[in-house]
Amino acid sequence: MYICICNAVCDKSIQNAITEGNRCSDSVYKACGVEPQCGCCRDEIEDMIESHEQGLAGATLMAAE
Ligand code: FES
């Protein structure tokens, strides 16, 4: 599914960029080799980053238990 229509970047590419350690939308764009255009996808990318970080926090808590 395309998240960034302007640059034809799909969710898997964005998720890979986040998994590789990119923690802001600008660095995700850069990792995907694109520049933001309209910016409509920025909030969704930020949400994906936040979800990823919450997942990591949850995994850390489970590992500590
Ligand atoms: S949808 Fe990503 S920059 Fe326009």
The closest alpha carbon to 25, from 41, 46, 10, 4, belongs to 46
What are the structural domain ranges in the chain? 2-64
Q: What are phi and psi of 55, to 5 degrees?
A: -65, -40
- The alpha carbon of 12 and the centre of ligand 1 are apart by a number of angstroms equal to 16
Topology of the domain comprising 2-64: Arc Repressor Mutant, subunit A (1.10.10)
Q: What is the pLDDT of residue 35?
A: 97
Total residue length of the chain: 65
pTM of the entire predicted model: 0.89
- The alpha carbon of 3 and the centre of ligand 1 are apart by a number of angstroms equal to 8
Task: Assign 64 a pLDDT band (cuts: 50, 70, 90).
Answer: confident
- Which residues does ligand 1 sit against, CB inside 6 Å? 4-7, 36-41
Q: What is the pLDDT of residue 27?
A: 98
Task: Assign 18 a pLDDT band (cuts: 50, 70, 90).
Answer: very high
